[in-house]
Amino acid sequence: MGEVGLVLGESKNNILIFDELTRERKFKIKKIKISDVLKSLERKGLIKCIETRFDFRNTKISTGLFGINRVFLPSSNIFPTLVASDSNDFVTTIGLSALNEKQYKKEFIEKVFNKKAYRKITVTEACKIQGFPANFKLPPTRARWMKLIGNSVSVPVIEKLVGAICNTGVFTCLAHD
């Protein structure tokens, strides 16, 4: 049975629920991209999307839509930790401004998400997000440097924690330069 048959076989009362499909282990094992299969079926007129949901938190898409997990805005000043799998984090190529949340969501969907006005995070941006120095040496391939950066802890966070621990006086800490 092909990808399409496997996905369609998961329907209940002729309804496919995207969130349930993405949690199915068999699709993960076979590396089946549910969003791609569903888009293909929709383009062929075999299925119809009856609900579209968007979830916005902390100025980015946080729960993922069609393989896009997070889109950071140029004005973002808070970034979650990157992950080693390079799980589809992007940066917008345009800025947005709106009068209220509803307008902002509408503009984000129309001007950024639908027009694909976003790009992958660069190595320089990834290093900044994780607090690495600008001259930090990394492997040349994206997969290798994202694995290293994503498996790392945020350098400034660790510096702050160590400083706070040293300031308690419970431990003797040696100064470093």
Are 130 and 107 a contacting pair, CB within 8 Å? no
Q: State the DSSP string of 69-129.
A: -EEE-TT----PPP-TT--SEEEESS----SSHHHHHHHIIIIIITTT-EEEPPHHHHHHH
Closest CA to 90 of 53, 65, 54, 107: 65
CATH of 56-150, one of 3.40.50, 3.90.120, 1.20.1530, 3.40.1350: 3.90.120
Phi-psi region of 67 (alpha: psi -120 to 50; beta: other; left: phi over 0): left
What interhelical angle do 142-150 and 123-130 show, nearest 10?
A: 10
Per-residue pLDDT tens, the chain, 177 aa: give them: 688 888 888 888 888 888 788 888 888 888 888 888 888 888 888 888 876 555 554 444 445 566 677 787 777 777 777 777 766 678 888 888 778 778 888 888 899 888 989 988 888 888 888 888 878 899 999 888 888 888 888 888 888 998 898 888 887 777 655
**pLDDT of 66:** 65
pLDDT score, position 175: 63
Instruction: Note whether 27 and 37 are within 8 A (CB).
Output: no
Provide the pLDDT for residue 176: 57
The residue type found at 80 is: P
